[in-house]
Amino acid sequence: MLKKVLVVDDSTLIHQMYKMVLMRYRCEIVQALNGQDGIDKLEKNPDVSMMLVDINMPLMNGLEFIQKVKALKKFDSIPIVIVSTEGKEEDTQRGLALGASGYVKKPFQPSDLHSLINKLFGDLPA
pLDDT higher than 80, residue 105? yes
Specify the pLDDT at position 85.
78
Question: How much is the average pLDDT of 3-30?
Answer: 89
Question: How much is the average pLDDT of 14-34?
Answer: 89
Query: Going by CATH, does the domain composed of 4-121 fall within 3.40.800.20?
Result: no
Specify the pLDDT at position 123.
63
Own/partner long-range contacts of 103-108 (Cβ < 8 Å, ≥24 apart): 106/14, 108/83
Other beta carbons less than 10 A from residue 60's beta carbon: 18
pLDDT higher than 90, residue 76? no
pLDDT higher than 70, residue 103? yes
Question: How much is the average pLDDT of 36-61?
Answer: 94
